[in-house]
Amino acid sequence: MITTSMGPGYEFDRIRAIAAAIHDVIGPIGDDAAPVPMGDGQLVVSTDASVEGVHFRRPWLTAEEIGWRATASAVSDLAAAGAMPAGVTVAMVVPPEGTEHQIVDVMRGAGAVMRIAGGIILGGDLSSGPCWMLTVTVIGHARHAMTRGGAKSGDGIWVTGLLGASRAAVESWRHGIEPAAAARLAFARPQPRIAAGRWLAAHGATAMIDISDGIGGDAGHLAAASSVGVAIALDALPVHPAVLAVAPLLNQPPSVFAGLGGEDYELLVTLPRGWSGVADCEAETGTRITLIGEIVESPGLHFSLLGKDVTLPGYTHRI
């Protein structure tokens, strides 16, 4: 860790406490700007906000999990670009009841994500406000960054991992039920798919987006950016086992429940027709990948369940 000396003051005492807690993943701090270690190719930057009462509720998460979740959701955007993280900044708004211990724990969570994903904490900002809010800016690099805009008619539509566990946790809490451990973990500590994103980008992917707005929302973003249509069979979705106990609470088939869920932070990716890299992808990245549909010429979104057309709206980020 390299630091510039900081003067006295409550805010700077908090910054020093944060630096001590995550010393192994923190970059040069103390100045108003930080140098960013970069590789060859393109700079990739994204910003994501996480707001109490919109994206999480305090009784549901520890302070460390708030930091983890906010940082992972931002880093997931780099995964969708096939990029390698270089660093993040975290701007934190703390309510009056927030303590130094909680602030440090929030940054412990952010630091834990960076240990997994790669990169360092470059700095950020501390301010006071009515509730907990984190704005995380991620900076990374890619040889050729993936976008949502390259899908072509005939491409297969694939998704990594399992879907619906994050929503299963939220709906359990809403119904006064303690979520299953796996569902709670998926909500509190999502895993950005950096390795899978980089591998897929290097092995034929034509377009990619992370699933934060649900299959309905993010497939729509990809279709619009690529000027194509998408046809997805919901019964092909890889549904997380935690969904099975919660979907009946809303009278929804598990695949519809999973499709409506957001904040899974898996990757929705298009690959050329006949792509045969499943075994290699799973072996080299440790991430499951499943074919769920096809890019079609007919514009718009085409969802089906057991052969019947269904409507699948995007996910609303308000809990």
Q: Where are the domains of the chain?
A: 10-142, 156-310
Residue with tokens 């390299």: 2
Phi-psi region of 139 (alpha: psi -120 to 50; beta: other; left: phi over 0): beta
**Fold equal for 10-142 and 156-310:** no
**Interval 249-265: pLDDT, tens:** 999 999 999 999 989 99
pLDDT tier, 25 (very low <50, low <70, confident <90, very high otherwise): low
In whole angstroms, what is the distance from residue 58 CA to residue 112 CA?
A: 20
Q: What is the reported pLDDT for 160?
A: 98
In whole angstroms, what is the distance from residue 294 CA to residue 148 CA?
A: 15
Phi-psi region of 202 (alpha: psi -120 to 50; beta: other; left: phi over 0): alpha
pLDDT of residue 34 exceeding 80: no
pLDDT tier, 104 (very low <50, low <70, confident <90, very high otherwise): very high
Q: Mean pLDDT of all residues in the chain?
A: 90
* 143 vs 69: which has the higher pLDDT: 69
pLDDT tier, 13 (very low <50, low <70, confident <90, very high otherwise): low
In whole angstroms, what is the distance from residue 222 CA to residue 208 CA?
A: 8
| Beta pairing partners, 123 | 89
- The lowest-confidence range among 3-12, 195-204, 214-223 is 3-12
Overall average pLDDT of the 288-315 stretch = 92
State what percent of residues in the chain have pLDDT above 70: 89
What's the maximum distance between 2 C-alpha atoms anywhere in the chain?
A: 67
Fold of 10-142: 60s Ribosomal Protein L30; Chain: A; (3.30.1330)
In whole angstroms, what is the distance from residue 12 CA to residue 34 CA?
A: 17
Give the count of beta carbons closer than 10 Å to the beta carbon of residue 177: 13
pTM reported for the whole predicted model: 0.88
Residue positions counted in the chain = 319
The CATH number of domain 156-310, selected from 1.25.40.390, 3.90.870.10, 3.90.650.10, 2.40.10.10: 3.90.650.10
